[in-house]
Chain A
Amino acid sequence: MSYQVRLEVFEGPLDLLLHLIKKDELNIYDIPISTITQQYFEYIDLMKELNLDIAGEYILMAATLTHIKSKMLLPQEEKVGEEEETEDPRAELVRRLLEYRKFKEAAEDLCEREDIWRDVFYPKNEVSSEFEEEEVMLDVGIFDLIDAFKEIIQRMPDNKTSIDIIPEELTVRGRMSALIERLDVTGPEGLTLWALLEGDTTRRAIVVTFLALLELAKLHLIRLLQIEGDDTLRICRISSNDEAGEAEGGDADDKETD
């Protein structure tokens, strides 16, 4: 049994509701809630029929619509003594729809920009490698480190599970002090990630080094750097007295673009 149904793809329940409102030219400030609820459920049923996974968000919105509908059916209670106007049960939904629509429009604007700027090209920086350029060090985030490790582990020749005989001394704590000792000797330019991993031949040892580096970065004892235009990660020691200055330096880099 095969049949084709044209089904637009929606980003979520709010997107679907906006579509329904636009399709029937409904007034967003005065949504006929029972009509829209019915149409919404029809769409959900269609999704079920097509065996599409219905995300929890759609179900939640269905419940919200039903709740609003039932509230609208209740007679308005005149609360004597209370000056506050009873809020339209739809108000919150309308607010969310409008907020969402704003960003949907902003996203369309970005999409148009993307179309134009994808077709703009720049001269490549091919000369730079010929110059003894001053190395611009970039601060690197944790994710770059994770990426680098993923790559290293994937590149390891023996990727199969093997039984590693792990000597007792392989601990994160032990590796941390070993790393610090090595970095203290090397001075401010630090070591590359590859150099640090030289002795590590097993997956396990690499993971221990990785955890040790993460821990050291967290304690602000080391800094992860990358030379501009190069993927190699460098690890340098942060001495306690220049830490504050270094941190500010990183921020200033961003501000320069203002």
Chain B
Amino acid sequence: MEDAEIKAVIETLLFISGESLSVNRIKNVLEDVDLSKIKSLFWELQHEYEMRSSGLRIVEIAGGFQIATRPEFAGWIKKLKKVKQSSKLSRPSLETLAIIAYKQPIVKAEIEDIRGVDSTGVIKGLLDKHLLKIIGRKDVPGRPILYATTREFLQYFGLREISDLPTLKEFTELMEEDESITTSEAQSITAIES
């Protein structure tokens, strides 16, 4: 198959998939084409969309690629049809998600330690929205539940993977004074990297 044809196939698959498509899933369809080829054609396709100022673009999101509209055209979409949009997340929800995103897997007590308030209800709401999932129990007394973010979380916030999040700001002044900060900071960095 010629590159142009493969690219057209990829575009077709992107168009109908309805969810983010990973390079591996494309590979399952285009068996004879190797991964690096698929990847580079993805980039090419993405570039072509950009070049011709298309209303659509190809975004890298939730571990794959997806055709998406541009946020600046949202107004037109909403004029065409009523878009059912869920309400924005509350501040407690965002705070809790941020903590979990950077420190996952994490138990409720650790979240509450940072926030300084009870977080049971917030966590339940985020589980219902599938932005969080339970991934097991921590091997400590009481076997508390461990929480982590989901693929839907990445999709919702337009992230390719969790490491796309900006690194937490460092507080150098304090670190000189307090060793414990340095360790918690280091932990959060490894959590992001892993």
Question: Which A residues lie at the B interface, using CB under 8 A?
Answer: 11-15, 29, 55, 57, 61, 91, 94-96, 98-100, 102-111, 113-128, 141, 143, 254, 256-258
Interface size band for B: 35 or more
Comparing B1-9, B35-43, B44-52, B154-162, the segment that makes contact with chain A is B154-162
Given A106-B101, A114-B88, A141-B133; A98-B174 close (CB under 8 Å): yes
Give the contacting residue for A106; candidates B92, B102, B177; CB below 8 A.
Answer: B102
Q: Contact between A95 and B18 (Cβ–Cβ < 8 Å)?
A: no
CB distance from A15 to the nearest CB of B (A): 8
- Smallest CB gap from A142: residue in B: B134
Distance in Å: Cβ of A220 to nearest Cβ of chain B: 15
A94 with B17: CB separation less than 8 A: no
- Separation of A128 and B178 alpha carbons in the complex (Å): 57
The contact sample of 19 A-B pairs, CB cut-off 8 A, is A15-B116, A57-B117, A98-B181, A100-B115, A102-B171, A103-B168, A106-B98, A109-B98, A109-B166, A110-B89, A110-B157, A111-B94, A114-B94, A116-B71, A117-B71, A123-B67, A256-B25, A256-B63, A257-B62
- Chain B residues with CB under 8 Å of A126's CB are 18
Rounded to whole angstroms, the CA-CA distance of A29 and B173 in the bound complex is: 9
The reply to whether A110 and B71 contact each other, CB–CB distance below 8 Å, is no
Q: Does B108 contact A (CB under 8 A)?
A: no
Give bound CA distance, A91 to B71, whole Å: 44
B83 within 8 A of A: yes
Complex contact A91–B178 (CB within 8 A): yes
Is B190 in contact with chain A by the CB < 8 A criterion?
Answer: no
B168: chain A residues within 8 A (beta carbon): 102-103, 106
CB of A103 within 8 A of CB of B114, answer: yes
B98 & A123 in contact (Cβ 8 Å cutoff): no
Binary per-residue interface labels of chain B (73-99) against chain A in the complex, 1 for a CB within 8 Å, 0 otherwise: 010010000010100110110110111
**Chain A residues closer than 8 Å to B101, beta-carbon distance:** 106, 110
Interface of A is mostly: helix
Residue pair A257, B174 in contact (C-beta under 8 Å): no
**B114 contacts A121, C-beta separation under 8 Å:** no
Q: What residues of chain B lie closer than 8 Å to A12, measured between beta carbons? A: 115-117
A124: B residues at CB distance < 8 A: 18
- 6 shortest A-B CB distances, which residue pairs? A125-B18, A257-B63, A119-B74, A12-B117, A106-B98, A119-B71
B154 cross-chain contacts in A, Cβ below 8 A: 257
**With a CB–CB cut-off of 8 A, which chain A residues contact B67?**
122-123
CB of B10 to closest CB in A, whole Å: 14
1/0 contact trace for B116-136 toward A, CB 8 Å? 111000000001100001100
A57 touches B118 (CB 8 A): yes
